[in-house]
Amino acid sequence: MKKIYLLLLLFLFGCNQSGFEEFQSGKEVYEARCSACHAPDFKGRVGPSIDSNSPSAKMPDTYWIQTITKGKGSMPAVRLNENEVELVIEYIKSSY
């Protein structure tokens, strides 16, 4: 019986540890979730350019939030929390 409780405890502890880890900076978010398609330098690869010369550079934050969280065209919605969305938008815009 003690073995069952021990296994259950280890299982529950393991589940808590394997949860999503929140990104701490916009750069972390971008590198992990955006750069594969939009390139590390924002110039675009599979996804369009999002650098200072792109049409998106002139768009308000509401556009960015909608695009990131809901997707647009071939871009899928990205699963980020509200803070991570704000961080990545600030990071991208700070590169302009």
| Domain-wise residue ranges, the chain | 23-94
Residue 32: both structure tokens together:
């992990």
pLDDT of residue 22: 85
pLDDT of residue 6: 39
Tens-digit pLDDT profile for residues 1-42: 555 443 444 444 444 444 456 899 999 999 999 999 999 999
pLDDT of residue 11: 43
pLDDT of residue 65: 98
Match domain 23-94 to its CATH number in 3.40.1450.10, 1.10.3720.10, 1.10.260.40, 1.10.760.10.
Answer: 1.10.760.10
For residue 72, list its beta bridge partners.
Answer: 75
Buried b (16+ CB within 10 A) or exposed e, 22-45: ebeebbbbbeebbbeebbeebeee
Tens-digit pLDDT profile for residues 50-76: 999 999 999 999 999 999 999 999 999
